[in-house]
A and B are shown apart, each in its own frame.
Chain A
Amino acid sequence: MRTSIVGAVIALLLTISLTSPLVVSQGLTPKLGGTLVVIQVGDPKSFNPDAQVDDMGFPIFQNLFNKLVTLDIDYNIIPDLAYKWDVSSDGLTYTFYLYKNATWHDGVPVTAWDVKWTFETINKSKGIAYSWIKASNIKSIDVIDNYTVKFILKQPFAAFLSFLGWYGTFVMPKHMYSNYSDWLDPKNPVLQKPVGSGPFKFVEWVKGDHVTLEANPNYFKGQPYLDKLVFKIIPDANTALSSFLAGEGDVLAVRPPFSEIPKLNSTSGVIVRSRAVPSQWYIGFNLLRYPFNDRTLRLAIAYAINRSYVIEKAMSGYGFPARGGYTSAIKWAFNSNATLPNYNVTLANKLLDDAGYKLGPDGIRQTPNGTKLSIKYTYFTTGPETEAIGVVLKEQLKKIGIEVTLEGLEIGAWEQKVVKNRDFDIALCDGFQGPDPDNMRSRFALGAYLNFANYSNVEYYDLLQNASVTTDFSARQKLYWKAQEIFVHDLAYIPLVDLVAFYIWKTEFHGLPWESAGKVNYNSYALTWWEKGKSIEPEYIVFLKNNALAIVIVLVIIIGVVVAYKVTKKKWSGKTTS
């Protein structure tokens, strides 16, 4: 009986030990080595990261260069080149303390002089960050010592740190540009072969095909796990998708057509994650043109649009109906009480009837002036969804007696017609509205270049101006909330969709920027590692670690068996001798 009990226990322990690899975690320790291939949609224009708008270069710059502070995937401000910073209580002085061991890829140390030179050059040569740097009213940039730099402003600018971490503010190597008066001088080799301070350094650029970077072993925050980082250029979204599916890339940085997302999701070895981004599709009315200056008409149109249906039809359901006067992705600034009108066709029709927009025999209304309510919807042809949104709007507005014709222009012509010449009826636009609600000033406020609707509400403008210089957080929040209430009342612009971004990658890679909140900027692969790489520790130690529990159980069994044997033997021998 005893042996059978012992036997049963042994069998049980053996079973546990054999299945323990399933019980113990797989050991999510980073491995070394491997190449990550990111598929994107175009070439960088050059490797000067601050001189011109370069959406294709930006993800590459984020791995080649550093900023003073940077934004992570949640748009929170995290340290980059500066490990610490102080803001004076009056909001006028920002002091940044730089890492002392940061070097450029050619070995020269990164100092506060590089920082000063960078921002002065952005100002002088009108780099992309010029607009908001001017808005910050910087009085001076002072080098305190080689690793400490002070920015002194003339008046407080609440969004200063956010913009500093965002765009066009990479710290550039002064010594590589000192011989050229023009920082975009094509003769400067560093425009084609960059020297940065980031976790990866430049290897080669084959135009139209790829950009290759390799790990920087001297990176001041530690060498990255990957050996190489390749940005593969495939300008066509469909081709990019098929390349990715064929295994020619590891990260798909091009958003595929919405209908392909479920298919990607169910492909083995591929993960798809989505996140709300502070970006919206919105339509704007030409307020300088009759009858769009009539708020009742705009209100009726807002009631007639079923935003969920638009998303379902035009974007395969990927997106959230816009709810208010700002993107809901920046939670602290979003006022959930300032809501847009809900879908209500009956009410829309009633409003128009009461306002004197008579229904004609062909089902199309006329304005009180007698002109047919036939509206042109002007969009840019960057992707299929802009036209698709128009097709849905066309059908929805038909139900309240408004006829819509579509006018698709390529982006340059659209900008000319809508933004510059303000020659349109309704136009569709999108755009990033972060990282700070101060962005609203450049889109919707009086005098802004992008305010194509000619929205001229002075109270709205004043609220935004005040919020820009208010340093007290809750006071700022209240100002932005009030601004949104005015925005959804006036309806010069009607936001339609809160956008969603997709992250698509192969499961064999971990530590991607969207999984590393608080640690790296939102395009950085400094912490990314490959499952099939070499372990950092020798193999046998890894083996021991992974199977620790199993090994312990096996040892326990062996000891238990030996002890049990010895004990029973004693008992037996004891019995025979007695």
Chain B
Amino acid sequence: MEWKDYLLRRSAQLLLTVFFALIINFLIINLAPGDPAALMAGELATKEYIEAVRERWGLNKPIPERLVSYLLNVLQGNLGYSYTYLQSVSNLIAERIPVTLLLTLTSSIIAFFVGLLLAVKTSQKAFSKVDLFVSNVMLTIYSIPSFWLGLMLIGIFGVALRIFPTSGMVNVRSTGSGVFLILDIAYHSILPIVTLATIQVPIYYKIARNTIVEQSSEDYVSTFLMAGMSTSSIFKKYVLRNSLLPPVTVFALHLGYVLSGAALVEVVFGWPGMGRLLLSAVYSRDYPLIMGIYLVTSITVSLANFFVDILYTLLDPRVRYK
């Protein structure tokens, strides 16, 4: 019973949060300087032509009225039409999501395993030379700007060594589809994924290492040691299992940022993902598109948080429902 109440309350929280985020975004965007009608009208604009454009897109109505109609539309699942692409916003976003997901999901998974493995290997002897060295190296890697790393990789592998393509998702001339297309995309995705994964490894390493070290200092470990169990079997049977939960939750939280996290890398490598879509929407003041992207990313972040909370209550018996 208690659990169901918690679930209900948490879901209500989720919806409320998304709702408020949406309103805030609408206000920020629509109160911004820059008239989309003038932008759309272009260079040879006359005042009348701009007014005509404004009328066509309903930009001449007062803000509260626009807010209400927008919210009503969203509730019906209609995210509006993009001024610049002349398509429904949901279509546009749906097209870009797989691209971004390919980069972020793959790199997160790779980073998760690499980070975890590294932590397992080095942090069993906490504070040993190896452990400290790797920790510090990880911190340094975490300090590298993702776009600079991507740029340097392009310079080394794309230009100097000419091993990998320097940009884009596919080779335009390839008329192949199916397997060949997949291979082509995979080839083009190696450098961006390596960039993203490298930056994320330190996060997973750190959480895994900290948890392992934390677990190692728990009472049950010293109890087992005194009882004569070997360090390696203690580790394998107990510490490791208990240490898996935090990295997994971090991973789940990161999934929330899976749509927005790759923006800089998308720009550097020229991939048509959500990050680039947002940038072009901002520059052309494409209100419906900007709000659509925010809505989708807010929802994913909220959902990820929501599931992590629920997951935690299910898996970790120490957590109590607030």
Contact = CB atoms under 8 A, between A and B. Distances in A.
Contacts of B154: 242
Contacts of B172: 37, 209-210, 230, 232, 243, 248-249
B166 A246 contact: yes
A128 B171 CA distance: 35
A210 B168 CA distance: 12
Given A186-B87, A207-B95, A410-B283, A415 B38 contact: yes
A258 interface: no
Given A210-B172, A239-B270, A412-B284, A46 B35 contact: no
Given A130-B49, A236-B167, A236-B267, A415 B35 contact: yes
B33 A413 contact: yes
Name the residue among B36, B48, B49, B158 with the largest chain A CB count within 10 angstroms.
B49
A436 to B, nearest CB: 12
A174 interface: no
Interface in A406-437: 410-413, 415-417, 419-420, 431-432
B34 A416 contact: yes
A243 B46 CA distance: 38
Contact of A416 (B33, B84, B95): B33
B45 interface: yes
B96 interface: yes
A374 interface: no
Contact of B283 (A134, A167, A249, A411): A411
Nearest to A228: B175
A236 B173 contact: no
A461 to B, nearest CB: 16
A52 B40 contact: yes
Given A232-B172, A415-B34, A416-B33, A45 B86 contact: yes
B283 A246 contact: no
Contacts of A43: 85
A209 B38 contact: no
Interface string B142-182: 00000000000010001100000111111111000000000
B285 A412 contact: yes
Contacts of B48: 126, 130-131, 134
A126 B52 contact: yes
Contacts of A417: 33
Contacts of A416: 33-35, 38
A411 B39 contact: yes
A235 interface: yes
B39 A130 contact: no
A188 to B, nearest CB: 11
Interface string B263-286: 000010110100010001011110
Contacts of A450: 43, 45
B320 interface: no
Nearest to A166: B44
Contacts of A35: 173
Contacts of B49: 126, 128, 130-131
A264 interface: no
Contacts of A419: 38
Name the residue among A45, A191, A420 with the largest chain B CB count within 10 angstroms.
A45
Contact of A208 (B34, B35, B96, B159): B96
Given A412-B36, A413-B33, A449-B47, A128 B166 contact: no
A186 B34 CA distance: 25
Interface string A239-258: 11011001011000000000
B81 interface: yes
Given A45-B85, A131-B49, A208-B272, A242 B158 contact: yes
Given A130-B49, A207-B85, A242-B158, A234 B168 contact: yes
A231 to B, nearest CB: 10
B64 interface: no
B77 interface: no
Nearest to A233: B272
B91 to A, nearest CB: 9
A42 B285 CA distance: 16
Contacts of A242: 154, 158-159, 166-167
Contact of B270 (A186, A210, A235): A235
B34 A442 contact: no
Given A412-B283, A432-B43, A236 B38 contact: no
Interface string B20-61: 000000000000011110111111111111101100100000
B167 A234 contact: yes
Nearest to A132: B44
A230 B173 CA distance: 9
Contacts of A420: 35, 38
A45 B276 contact: no
A238 B284 CA distance: 21
Contacts of B92: 207
A299 to B, nearest CB: 29
Contacts of A413: 33-34
A53 interface: yes
A391 interface: no
A388 interface: no
B52 A243 contact: no
Given A126-B52, A420-B38, A46 B86 contact: yes
Given A53-B41, A243-B172, 8 more contacts: A35-B173, A208-B272, A243-B166, A412-B34, A412-B39, A412-B283, A413-B33, A449-B46
List the 10 shortest-distance A-B pairs measured between CB atoms, nearest first.
A53-B42, A412-B34, A208-B272, A239-B270, A239-B167, A126-B52, A242-B166, A46-B86, A232-B172, A131-B46
27 contacts: A43-B85, A45-B86, A52-B53, A53-B43, A126-B48, A126-B52, A131-B44, A131-B49, A186-B87, A207-B95, A208-B96, A230-B172, A235-B272, A236-B167, A236-B270, A238-B167, A239-B168, A239-B269, A248-B168, A249-B172, A410-B283, A412-B33, A413-B33, A416-B33, A417-B33, A442-B44, A442-B46
Interface of A: 35, 37, 42-43, 45-46, 52-53, 126, 128, 130-132, 134, 167, 184, 186, 191, 207-210, 230, 232, 234-236, 238-240, 242-243, 246, 248-249, 410-413, 415-417, 419-420, 431-432, 442, 449-450
